[in-house]
């Protein structure tokens, strides 16, 4: 999408959220990345939490975890660079086994993915025989492989209900599981993983926001604690939040999620006032223009998934995509 434009002309897109002087420090890397994408027939998939110079400057496909997984299936390129965290790159590799998938920093992890192992899933299956395991995509390929089906924050309720059973295990995000449980009659057994970014929001934060910014619309990610979601006007994935702002155009809005999200959405909505208490995801912030450029120059770091793990993990992801 950005291959026919120059870095200087791209500045118009982001001028509301990036000062000119800062953009000028990005221009050399943006130009280099645009050229490398052409040379290597590469595409960049960027999550909504990537900084605006990546999201609006060099990405070809952007979105929430579900959109990135869906769009990864149709990618027509030799190389995919995943501007996001490791589990997203693994999902892209699962769905594109013959393509080269690169993650610019292998340390870009996730507190949810780190909270559970395949051995934990085996223990859960022993404790709850016959109960299907629904695994949030924020997990390693090995944990996905040990599961029946995946879900994202954008489709968790549909996946729970699509199984047609009275009880499910939903791992590893306790808050996502408890938030979904409020919306369905299916009994949900949760694990104790938390997102280190979203768990920091409190219900008191929301009450203060409403007091300090009368009329503000509060949108919360379902990885937030249930009492935060209860105080919000709407809970939804990053794509749901972005779509809500586009459709309803609230005069004032706060997105209780990662900090770059507001910048990326604000680019498209100059009339909306964004109130910005937010939390940074240290993992997402490991991805920079410079390491995206290096990834393409040096072909690093290639994501490899063990062949046996890949077959079972792909099945769980594809089952989700079919819902």
Q: Which residues bind ligand 13P (CB under 6 A)?
A: 48, 64-66, 138, 152-154, 195, 221, 223, 237-238
Query: What is the token pair recorded at 173?
Result: 């995000």
Draw the binding track, 145-164, toward ligand SF4 (x: CB under 6 A; -: no contact): --------------------
Tell me which of 143, 195, 245, 261 binds ligand SF4, using CB under 6 A: 195
- The least distance separating ligand 13P from the CB of residue 63, rounded to whole angstroms, comes to 7
CA atoms of 46 and 83, how far apart (whole Å): 5
- The least distance separating ligand SF4 from the CB of residue 308, rounded to whole angstroms, comes to 26
CA atoms of 152 and 137, how far apart (whole Å): 6
Residue 152 interface partner, choices ligand 13P, ligand SF4, none, CB cut-off 5-8 Å depending on type:
ligand 13P
Tell me which of 112, 116, 133, 313 binds ligand SF4, using CB under 6 A: 112
Query: What is the token pair recorded at 196?
Result: 């280190």
Rounded (to 5) percent helix, strand, coil in the chain: 45, 15, 35
Q: Closer CB to ligand 13P, residue 23 or residue 63?
A: 63
92 near ligand SF4, rule: CB under 6 A: no
Residue 172 contacts by C-beta under 8 Å, 6 or more apart in sequence? 112, 113, 115, 116, 135, 136, 138, 139, 143, 191, 192, 193
Please state, in angstroms and as integers, the Cα–Cα distance from residue 22 to each residue in 15, 26, 219, 240, following that order: 10, 7, 29, 30
138 near ligand SF4, rule: CB under 6 A: yes
- Total count of residues recorded for the chain: 323
Q: 170-189: which residues touch ligand SF4 (CB under 6 A)?
A: none
Residues that bind ligand SF4 (CB under 6 A): 85, 110-112, 138, 195-197, 223, 258, 281, 283-284
């Amino acid at each position: 999408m950005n291959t026919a434009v120059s870095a200087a002309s791209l500045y118009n897109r982001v001028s509301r959220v990036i000062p000119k002087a800062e953009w000028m420090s990005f221009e050399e890397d943006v130009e280099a990345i645009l050229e490398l994408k052409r040379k290597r027939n590469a595409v960049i998939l960027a999550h909504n939490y990537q900084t605006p110079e990546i999201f609006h400057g060099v990405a070809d496909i952007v979105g929430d975890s579900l959109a990135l997984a869906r769009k990864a299936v149709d990618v027509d390129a030799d190389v995919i660079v995943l501007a996001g965290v490791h589990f997203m790159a693994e999902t892209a590799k699962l769905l594109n086994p013959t393509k080269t998938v690169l993650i610019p920093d292998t340390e870009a992890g996730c507190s949810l993915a780190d909270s559970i192992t395949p051995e934990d899933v085996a223990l859960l299956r022993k404790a709850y025989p016959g109960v299907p395991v629904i695994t949030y995509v924020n997990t390693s390929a090995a944990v996905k492989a040990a599961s029946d089906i995946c879900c994202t924050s954008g489709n968790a309720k549909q996946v729970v209900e699509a199984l047609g059973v009275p009880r499910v295990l939903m791992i590893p995000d306790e808050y996502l599981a408890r938030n979904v449980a409020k919306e369905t009659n299916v009994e949900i057994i949760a694990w104790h993983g938390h997102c280190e970014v979203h768990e920091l929001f409190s219900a008191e934060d929301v009450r203060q926001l409403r007091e300090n910014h009368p009329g503000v619309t509060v949108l919360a990610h379902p990885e937030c604690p249930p009492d935060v979601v209860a105080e919000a006007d709407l809970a939804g994935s990053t794509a749901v939040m972005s779509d809500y702002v586009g459709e309803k155009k609230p005069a004032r809005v706060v997105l209780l999620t990662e900090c770059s999200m507001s910048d990326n959405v604000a680019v498209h909505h100059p009339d909306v006032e964004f109130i910005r208490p937010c939390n940074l995801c240290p993992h997402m912030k490991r991805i920079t223009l410079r390491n995206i450029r290096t990834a393409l120059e040096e072909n690093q770091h290639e994501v490899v998934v063990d062949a046996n793990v890949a077959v079972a993990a792909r099945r769980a992801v594809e089952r989700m995509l079919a819902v």
